[in-house]
Every structure is written in structure tokens, then in C-alpha cells.
A and B are shown apart, each in its own frame.
Chain A
Amino acid sequence: MIKDTFNISDNNFEQCLKCTVCTVYCPVAAVKPEYPGPKQSGPDGERLRLKNPDFYDEALKYCLNCKRCEVACPHDVKIGDIIQAARIKYSKKKPGLREMMLANTDIMGQMATTFSPVVNLSLGLKPVKAVLDGVMKIDGHRTFPKYASQKFESWFKKTAQASQAQYKNRVSFFHGCYINYNYPQLGKDFVKAMTAVGYGVQLLEKEKCCGVALISNGLIDQAKKQAELNIHSIRRSVAEAGIPVVGASSTCVFTMRDEYPHLLGVDNADVRDGINLATRFLYSLVDSGKVRLAFRDDYKLHLAYHTACHMEKMGWAIYSISALRLIPGVKLTVLDSQCCGIAGTYGFKKENYPTSQAIGDSLFKKIEALAPDYVVTDCETCKWQIEMSTSVPVKHPISIIADALDVEKTIELNRR
């Protein structure tokens, strides 16, 4: 039963009925006149580019790749994919030093964590910011996320790895660059939550940055290499050992599941279903009755959930929201889903800063007016943007759950 309403072949752009719905939900088109908009850049442009590649317009670089056009499209046109694929195929602009620096999150992170006090200090210094702004065209309003003094991986191997063998269930954790270099605490929270419900955590055989920043900065060959390496590791875990891969970052997970095959041509069909998001994984365990959670009585907070673009695209906000609603002491406000404007490295570029802030403006105002204890989101770059643009601190739902968890009681509930 069921099937085949929509075509996902190379002809997908033809499903566009020119209804213009996508243009309503494009966060960029309304504020950036240079951007031709999703309809023109996507299905309409694709038709012209098939006639003559010269119809490629470099202004497609202003697309945030938020995929909100795709979510809105009543006809399942992969508008965002069409635009990004066109950039990859036709753009003649070569990435510069800035793009290399912004895109290579793991190399930068590797260097930075080693010298983190120096780097954190210097990235915050005015002269350094001036250089970044003036020479590198990285906007001076931006504060780079601080680098941790100890990588998550190092902590895990030193502190947590040995004790994981006691659990009969397993997950492979794709920690991503952010947890590894900037915010190991989220990784620790993940380990805390998973082990509490009886799931041991292991690292992937090898892990590289998912490549999202490489893709958006035009470093496609490198992105593809990293994608292949990651999929190889994932395959070892999912296909060979039967252990699901779980990531905390919605963007990493989305990139590995969907951008790998759609934009990089890296086939992941055999393991795609085995790549999961932390909140989805955890909530599905609870929903299916496989595990139970117990929360502290004294945990009382007002949280506002922000749906990151890639969460919206994956349609998975329901899991994070449902998971947060499990916590009795949480008052949860779900913010209307909208783009915060950062889009990974996009908002760090000097030329995009005003666009980036204009896009997020109404979101920031809503957050300030609501004044919750925390904004909660599954995406680390949304966290940076909201923290840079509002006075409200931002946490990942897994951190909230880890904080709220009555660990002993939970362990007890899940011991059979």
C-alpha cells in the first residue's frame, strides 16, 4: 500500500507548480534584495541552467540552506538541495582563506584546544577582532565560541570509556566538532543520560567533522572525503555491529543523513536509518516503553524551545519537545519555528552580518519578551546566535534532561 506521490529524481524541480509558497517562508528574500529568492534560484533557475549553465547566478551564495522552502513546499520540491547542488556544480568562485578557516572546524578546533587559553583570549581581543573583521571579513560583532581546554574525546577516553562495558545496550556517539572542542559538557551530559537508562556509549572508530561548513563554503572535495570516512565508520557500527549512531547536533545528523547523498553523492542508504539524533533516540526508547526516566522534584524552569532549521527540515522537533515535556517541573513554551539567521558560518561573514541579524530580529524580540530561564535548541550555531543576540542563555535539550534527571532513580527504574 502507499507510495510514489512524489518524484525524487533529477526531474524533481518539475514538480514545482509555481505556487510561490516557498517565497513566503524564505528568511533571506525578504531582507536581502540581491538574493533571487527560492523559486527563482531553485526550480525556475534549474530549468534555465539546464538550457545554459551561464544562467547560474553567484547570488545563490546568499541562500542559508535552511531548507524552510522545502518544508513549506506543498509539492515536495527539493528547493534547497537544487540551490546547493547548483552552487556545487556551477559556481566559479574559489573559497578563500576565510572560507578555509571557517570551514575547517576540526582543524581549527584541534589547534585551538591545544592552546585554548591563548586562543580564547586572543579571539576576544580587540586587535585580533579588527584583523578578523578588516582582513578576513569575519564580522567584528561576532564572538567565536570559546575553546575547551580538554577535548571531549580526551575526557571520554580518560574518564568514561572503561566503565561503558557494563551496559548491555550500546550506542555510538557522533560528538561532532562543537562538543569535542568547545563544549564537552554536552557530551558528558549525553553520556550521563544514556548510561542512566542502561545504554553504554562508545566513540566511532574514526570521526571527522560532518562537513556542513565545508559544503557551505564550497570545499566540496574535502567534504566528500570526510563524508566517506564518516560513513565508513558509521557502517562499521550500524551495519556490521548493529549499534546505532547517535549525535546531539541536529545539523551534523541532518548533514550525514541527507546532505551526504543529495549534495555530495555519498551513498548512505544502507545506514541512513541508523543515524539518529540524541533526543529522538532517547524519546523513542521512552515512547516504546523500553526505558523509563525519573526526574528531580526540585527541577523547576521555564524553557522556550527554538526549532533549528535543520530540525524543522527533519521534522524531528516533536521528539525534543516531547522529551522536554516529560520533565514535570518544566514549563515549556514552543517558539514559532523560524530561522535565527546564523546558518552556521554564514552569519560570521562580514557581508552577511546585517542579513543574519535582520532575519533573527523578530525571534530575538520574542525571546526577550518571554524571558525564559533558558532557550533550548538542538543546534549549536543557533545557540551562539541567540546568546550573542539576546540576554537569555541557551542549552541543548540533552543537557536539560541530564540536569533534571534523578539519576539514581532512573538507573533503578531501568534495572531489570
Chain B
Amino acid sequence: MNINSESQFDAIIIGGGATGAGTARDCAMRGLKVLLVERSDFASGATGRNHGLLHSGARYAVTDHESASECIKENMILRRVARHCVEENDGLFITLPEDDLAYQAKFVESCRAAGINADIIDPAEAKRMEPSVNPTLIGAVRVPDGSVDPFRLTTANVIDAKIHGAVVLTHHEVVGFIIEQNRMTGVKLYDYGTKQTKEYRSKLVINAAGIWGHHIAELAGVKVNMFPAKGALMVFGHRVNNMVINRCRKPANADILVPGDTICVIGTTSSRVPFEECDNMYVTREEVDLLLKEGEKLAPALASTRILRAYAGVRPLVASDSDPSGRSISRGIVLLDHETRDGLAGFITITGGKLMTYRLMAEWAADLACKKLGVNEKCRTADVPLPGSREEDKAPSKKVYDMSATATKAAEGRHGFMTEKIKAESLSDKAVVCECEEVSVAEVDYAINDLHVDNLVNLRRRTRVGMGTCQGELCACRAAGRLAKASKCAQRAQDDLTHFLNERWKGMYPVAWGHTLSEIQFTSWIYEGVYGLSASDNK
């Protein structure tokens, strides 16, 4: 085993989801020397496997006042600091004939109590505002819901952490800890690239690994009582709705339809799953049927809309320490100081919560870290915009070869002001790799060079390559060509191509009928029939 002697960190943060990235950014902004480690890719866990809903908090207003008021506060903060990750769409809470209209009054009252603007509007007005909404609705409330792109949000946090000096390692897995006299002093990381294990020293380790934090804690010899709660969702081929549509009733399955970028997402279901399944989420036929049945009630057009794929994420629910049975589970933020809790110094776990409160979670974790390290710096993440949302990043454009207007517009949606970093060096760099999502060669190269992209799945999360209607049929091979060029290893890129297509298929087969099946048959003809790719290439 090698020892990384080059540096000693103040804090090592485990987990490249929104919480980990946010914590890394917060700590780095307060002057800590930070290492962020992620075993696979940014936003590859629960962060990237939810609705992408910028909650107003209205959903929790009746049942969980505290979550609701956290949400609306964070909602307003994200609109300021993460403008390029957020779409200010607003949301509707609709009452259908089968629902109890009496719930509406209680709902509105609870929203207001939590500080959420909730206005009852006429159903006819709701139909005008959102033509896709179920026309049989009998009641509607407008709330400040929106959409947030978790991939962009996480990437922006990572970029800023790096700007503030953080070191970031993806494809590095924690395989052990260095514990000396009840104090954690470092981590052992397995590097999937070099296939070697190295030690990294630090004063503090923060476990922000979501549901996988359970396992991380076990590795450290402490117990955190987590319960994996699976939520399945489905992506439709285009934006059916432009406002978020929710049901105005007690939160239930499949009652939120969120527009996000070029698509919309219906979800979720909720079910307990064993830990062994967390790494291999799949969506069952029952879940698909349920999502469709309920989704059509929100927007009947979904019945005739192409389904791109289905996916599932795992929420890290945490049982309170006083109740290890897990009967009273909190959906709130859980911050554990293992020094006081378990007698293990230098180790903190931040978990629970939700995407919406990632920043607040990071703030809590960073506050505790700073306290422990004796650093007296205040959190600034609620005020300082993320890269991409910072006006000052917008440099005057002097490019010889601009990208096409459409590709530029699409890129601005993904990178905000960071789009200025995308340079088309030649006419050929303007060429479009992904035609569904308008991703140019220049943008792909930018992502490969600057945004920790090692494979096509990484690239998809940074740029939406392969996220469109054809799910990679046209673009995967072109993008693989760029990766082959960058890595100078064609075999690796070819294997990656097989892996990527398989990953797309995993989300498609639960919904593979109609055009979705036609599309995948076409993809198989091309990649297996014409190109000759096969499973054996994926060794």
C-alpha cells in the first residue's frame, strides 16, 4: 500500500452527491484543505435519482412543518445562488373529483404557516396556465415549486470547491479507515483507475455518502441506523407540462409530475429495500403500472407520450438513536458527531435530509467541522452564487468559431455562465454529437477536460449526451470517439460504449413497448448487428 505523503487534509469528505459536494464547497470556502472522494461519479446515487423538484415545501406543509419551512428557505436561496440549475416554473396542487376538496383549506393554511405562498386559483385559470393538467380538476393551488437539475447543482458545487482549493477524486472508493487511539486520522482509498490502494491523512472525515453512509459507518466501527427507501420514477420523452403538477392530498405514490430541461418526470413510489439491492436498483412492472396509472391522472397526455426510461433511487432514511427499531423515522437532517456519540473522534456523519436541503446539510456539517478544527469562519453558501450563476464569470466573447445558436442556447441551459469556457477551436468543433440534446463537440471536449469525465455515463451527467429521445442511438458512438481521442485508448472507449448502452437499456426495458421498443431494436441493429459490439467486449 502506498501512502500519499504529499499532503495532510483538514477534512476528507466521502460522497460525491449534492451533500458531499456541498460540504466540500462550504468547507473549502471557509479555508479548510479539503479532499472530496467519490467511489463512482458525482450525483450517481440518490442525488441524481429523484424528481429534480425544487420543492416549495408545500408537499410537507401539512405533515411536517419543519421540513416545509426548511424547503421554502432553501428554495429561495437556490433561486439566487444556483440560477443556472433552477427553472422557476411554479407548481400546482390540484384536487381531482376523487380527492377531498376540504383538504385544500388545511393545505393552504399549513403552507402559509410555513412561509410558503399558496394561492387558491380557479380550475379554469389553472388549465389556462398549464394546459396539460387534468381538465376534470375541481381545485387548484399555486405554489412556488420549480425544477432543479441535480447533476448541474452537484457539478457546480464541485467546481467551486476546486476553485477554493479542494482536491477531488472520483472513481475512488473508501476501503478502510486509519484510526489511531479512537481518533480517525485518514482513509484508505482504492483507485479504480490504477487499481491501487492509497492512504490519505486528514484531521477530520465527514461521511456524506447517503445510503452508502451506513456501510461507511460500519467500516469505521460505528453504527448508524439507516433504512433504504426505494423510490421509482419514470421519464417521458418531452415536456408535457411546464409547471410542476402535484396532487392536493396527503402525500402518496406517483403524485408529482416535474418538468425538467427537455423532459418530464413522474414519481415516486416508496418501498423498503434490503441494503444489498442499493447498488443495483431496478424498477418492477408493478411500479411502472402504478406510475402510469397515477401519472395520467395528473396530465392525461402522459397516456400517449413516449416513456424514455424508468429509474429508482434510494433515500437514506435514518432511525433516531433512541429508537433503533426504525419505527419513528425522520425525514429531516441528521448530523452525527461520532466523537460524542460513539467515542470516535474526527468522524462526522451527515445524512437524512433531501436534495432540497443539501446546502443546509452542508452548512451544518461544515459548522461542526470548523468548530472541531477551531476555525472561526461563517458559512457563505447562502449568499455566494455558484459558478455558472455568477455574473462576473461571463467574459466578453471573442471566439472565432462560435457554436451554433441552438447548441449555445442548450449549453447555456446546462452550464450557465460557464458556457464561456466552451471553446470551438475549429469549424469541426461546432459539429453536434448529441442531436436530441444539442451537445457539440466543443462541449463534450470541455466536459472531458474540465469536469471529471472518464466515461460516457459521466459525460451524460455533465452534458445530457444520450439523455434524449434516442437514448444514445446516434450520439453514443460519436461521444465514444471523443473519449477514445482523449484517453488515447480505443479499447477502453469501446468497452465503455458497450457499458453505456447497457446502462441505457437498464432504464428502458421496464418500459420497452411502443416506440421505446422500436428505438431499442434499432439501437441493437446498429450497435450489435452493424457495428458488431458484443457483451464479451465488456470484460
Contact = CB atoms under 8 A, between A and B. Distances in A.
- Asked whether any CB of A lies within 8 Å of a CB of B in the complex, the reply is yes
Interface of A: 7, 9-11, 13-20, 36, 39-40, 43-48, 50-52, 54-55, 57, 75
Interface stretch (B211-219, B268-276, B317-325, B405-413): B405-413
Given A14-B306, A17-B515, A51-B239, A39 B435 contact: yes
Interface stretch (B372-380, B468-476, B486-494): B468-476
Contacts of A40: 406, 432, 435
B469 A16 contact: yes
A47 B304 contact: no
Nearest to B405: A57
19 contacts: A7-B304, A13-B238, A17-B470, A17-B515, A17-B522, A18-B435, A18-B436, A36-B406, A39-B435, A43-B469, A44-B436, A47-B239, A47-B436, A47-B468, A48-B262, A48-B438, A50-B262, A51-B261, A75-B518
Interface in B414-445: 432, 435-436, 438
A14 B262 contact: no
Chain A binding site: helix, strand, loop or mixed by DSSP? helix
Nearest to A58: B405
Given A7-B304, A47-B436, A14 B238 contact: yes
B284 interface: no
Interface in B273-309: 301, 304-306
Interface string B350-361: 000000000000
Given A11-B305, A11-B306, A51 B522 contact: no
A14 B470 contact: no
Given A47-B469, A48-B410, A54-B409, A14 B305 contact: yes
A15 B239 CA distance: 15
B237 interface: yes
Q: How large is the interface on B (under 10, 10 to 19, 20 to 34, 35 or more residues)?
A: 20 to 34
B327 to A, nearest CB: 44
A32 to B, nearest CB: 15
B237 A14 contact: yes
A57 B406 contact: yes
A46 B261 CA distance: 13
A50 to B, nearest CB: 5
Chain B binding site: helix, strand, loop or mixed by DSSP? loop
A50 B238 CA distance: 8
Given A11-B305, A14-B515, A39-B435, A19 B522 contact: yes
Interface string B244-278: 00000000000000000110000000000000000
A18 B515 CA distance: 11
Nearest to B521: A17
Contacts of B473: 17-18
A14 B515 CA distance: 8
B405 A51 contact: no
- Among A10, A18, A19, A43, max chain B CB count under 10 A is at A18
A39 B438 CA distance: 12
B519 interface: yes
A11 B469 CA distance: 13
Given A7-B304, A39-B435, A47-B436, A18 B410 contact: no
Contacts of A51: 238-239, 261-262, 413
Nearest to A43: B469
Given A19-B522, A57-B405, 12 more contacts: A11-B304, A11-B305, A13-B238, A14-B238, A14-B305, A14-B306, A18-B470, A18-B473, A40-B432, A44-B469, A47-B262, A55-B406
A92 to B, nearest CB: 14
Contact of A44 (B304, B405, B413, B435): B435
A397 to B, nearest CB: 39
Contact of B474 (A10, A11, A20): A20
A215 to B, nearest CB: 24
Nearest to B432: A40
Contacts of A55: 406, 409-410
A47 B238 contact: yes
- Among B261, B409, B469, B519, max chain A CB count under 10 A is at B469
B474 A18 contact: yes
A10 B238 CA distance: 12
B518 A17 contact: yes
Interface string B337-377: 00000000000000000000000000000000000000000
B304 to A, nearest CB: 6
